[in-house]
Amino acid sequence: MAAVEPKASIRQEDCSFLPIVHDIIKCMDKDSQDVHQELNKLKTKLQDTRDMISAMPGIDVSPEQQQLQLQNLRDQVRTKNELLQKYKSLCMFDIPKT
């Protein structure tokens, strides 16, 4: 099972709606005509966020499948750690230098 790397890193600012909501409230307080422009920015940001979420790796995998994958990976790590300990105990790596 190969590890999936994200296509692009998601920064926290990319998912923050507070600055836009704040700008909308400021425009409403000033009775500004820019409210529609700010609302369009919010609508665009929401759609961009939806697109980011649907492009995330593993989004189509059910929680049960995720738990199964996690358990399989944990089993693999445990097995590999056991093998590593077994090979270390053979002392094959303690060859003296001459």
Q: What is the pLDDT of residues 36-89, one digit of tens each?
A: 888 999 999 999 989 988 888 888 889 999 999 999 999 999 999 999 988 888
CA 44/CA 41 separation, integer angstroms: 5
pLDDT at 96 over 80: no
The residues, any chain, with a CB within 8 Å of residue 57's CB and separated by 6 or more, are 4, 5, 6
Residue 4, pLDDT above cutoff 80? no
